[in-house]
Amino acid sequence: AQSVTQLDSQVPVFEEAPVELRCNYSSSVSVYLFWYVQYPNQGLQLLLKYLSGSTLVKGINGFEAEFNKSQTSFHLRKPSVHISDTAEYFCAVMHSGGSNYKLTFGKGTLLTVNP
Partner 1 sequence: DSGVTQTPKHLITATGQRVTLRCSPRSGDLSVYWYQQSLDQGLQFLIQYYNGEERAKGNILERFSAQQFPDLHSELNLSSLELGDSALYFCASSPEGRGTGETQYFGPGTRLLVL
Task: List interacting residues with partner 1 (CB under 8 A).
Answer: 32, 36, 42-46, 49, 51, 90, 94-108
Distance of closest approach, residue 1 Cβ to partner 1, in angstroms: 12
Instruction: Tell whether the torsion through CA atoms of 72, 34, 108 and 9 is positive or negative.
Output: positive
| Element housing 78 (H / E) | strand 73-78
Identify which of residues 68 and 114 has a Cβ nearer to partner 1 in the complex: 68
Identify which of residues 53 and 115 has a Cβ nearer to partner 1 in the complex: 53
Closest-CA residue to 33 (of 16, 11, 12, 50): 50
Distance of closest approach, residue 104 Cβ to partner 1, in angstroms: 7
Distance of closest approach, residue 102 Cβ to partner 1, in angstroms: 4
Distance of closest approach, residue 18 Cβ to partner 1, in angstroms: 27
Identify which of residues 42 and 70 has a Cβ nearer to partner 1 in the complex: 42
Tell me the chain's radius of gyration from C-alpha atoms: 14
Identify which of residues 32 and 64 has a Cβ nearer to partner 1 in the complex: 32
Instruction: Tell whether the torsion through CA atoms of 26, 29, 35 and 37 is positive or negative.
Output: negative
Phi then psi for 83, rounded to 5 degrees? Answer: -55, -40
